[in-house]
């Protein structure tokens, strides 16, 4: 029996957006934390640490998100953890985010002028102190626009987790489409909701980028 695409169907799709957002937020939080460690390791003075971080970033950036999702999903299963799809999805996206954020933040740390390292070292600050009091405060300002820009990538990539059964936006769309056979209405709605989430964030990132360059000019 083919159903009509009514308000009920629309609301079903709309409310699934909360899972999209939840996964995004969890991925940002966990991935952000891990990514911060990756960035620090990537700029460490210990070569093995740098290599490890570089390797992690290189691998994650060199495989599709879909493959990373399956690897972490089946990897966790092998470790004996039978996690609900939502949790597995969040962990995968966190791993994905950690590599990209790590790389973005490494770039920001490295764009703090080397003279700042020199000056703080000359004042006899230890390396952790240099990070804490001199480098990171300056890096934070630089880091915000590309990080906000990455959030958009993250939201879009949560669409991939639909394959392991999480009923986020795309999966909800598929379910409704299978019932109503109205692909344009259904996926048009899904696209519109993604756009409503992503576009303001993109605009924000662009504005922040503009302010950053204005502030640094001269």
Is the Cβ of residue 15 or residue 126 nearer to another protein in the bound state? 15
- Angle between the 85-110 and 7-42 helix axes, to the nearest 10 degrees? 40
16 binds another protein, rule: CB under 8 A: no
What lies within 8 Å, CB to CB, of 107 at 6+ separation is 146
Site size with another protein, rule: CB under 8 A: 38
Whether residue 139 contacts residue 108, with contact meaning beta carbons closer than 8 Å, is answered with: yes
173 binds another protein, rule: CB under 8 A: yes
**Please, which of residues 196-215 interact with another protein by CB under 8 A?**
198-199, 202
What is the C-alpha to C-alpha distance for residues 159 and 191, in angstroms, rounded to an integer? 11
Is the Cβ of residue 119 or residue 203 nearer to another protein in the bound state? 203
Is the Cβ of residue 63 or residue 140 nearer to another protein in the bound state? 63
Classify the C-alpha dihedral 12-165-147-35 as positive or negative: positive
Is the Cβ of residue 64 or residue 84 nearer to another protein in the bound state? 64
What is the C-alpha to C-alpha distance for residues 191 and 185, in angstroms, rounded to an integer? 10
Binding characters for another protein, 62-91, by CB under 8 A (x = yes) = xxxxxxx-xx--xx-xx-------------
123 binds another protein, rule: CB under 8 A: no
Give the residue from 45, 3, 14 showing the smallest Cα distance to 168: 14
191 binds another protein, rule: CB under 8 A: yes
Cα 16–Cα 20–Cα 25 angle in degrees, nearest 5: 140
55 binds another protein, rule: CB under 8 A: no
Whether residue 104 contacts residue 150, with contact meaning beta carbons closer than 8 Å, is answered with: yes
Is the Cβ of residue 120 or residue 177 nearer to another protein in the bound state? 177
Whether residue 193 contacts residue 15, with contact meaning beta carbons closer than 8 Å, is answered with: no
163 binds another protein, rule: CB under 8 A: yes
Is the Cβ of residue 43 or residue 92 nearer to another protein in the bound state? 92
Which stretches of the chain bind another protein, using CB under 8 A? 58-59, 61-68, 70-71, 74-75, 77-78, 152, 156-157, 159-160, 162-163, 170, 173-174, 177, 183-184, 187-188, 190-191, 194-195, 198-199, 202
């Amino acid at each position: 029996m083919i159903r009509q695409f009514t308000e009920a169907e629309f609301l079903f799709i709309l409310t699934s957006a909360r899972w999209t957002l939840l996964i995004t937020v969890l991925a940002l939080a966990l991935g952000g934390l891990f990514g911060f460690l990756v960035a620090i390791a990537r700029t460490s003075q210990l070569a093995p640490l740098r290599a490890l971080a570089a390797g992690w970033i290189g691998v994650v950036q060199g495989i599709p998100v879909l493959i990373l999702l399956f690897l972490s999903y089946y990897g966790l299963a092998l470790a004996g953890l039978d996690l609900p799809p939502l949790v597995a999805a969040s962990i995968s996206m966190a791993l994905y985010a950690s590599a990209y954020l790590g790389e973005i933040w490494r770039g920001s740390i490295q764009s703090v002028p080397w003279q700042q390292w020199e000056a703080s070292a000359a004042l006899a600050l230890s390396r952790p102190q240099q990070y804490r009091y001199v480098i990171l405060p300056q890096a934070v300002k630089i880091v915000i626009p590309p990080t906000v820009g990455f959030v958009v990538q993250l939201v879009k990539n949560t669409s991939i987790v639909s394959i392991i059964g999480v009923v986020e936006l795309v999966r909800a769309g598929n379910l409704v489409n299978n019932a109503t056979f109205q692909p344009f209405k259904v996926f048009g709605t899904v696209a519109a909701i993604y756009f409503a989430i992503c576009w303001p964030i993109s605009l924000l990132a662009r504005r922040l980028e503009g302010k950053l360059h204005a502030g640094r000019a001269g």
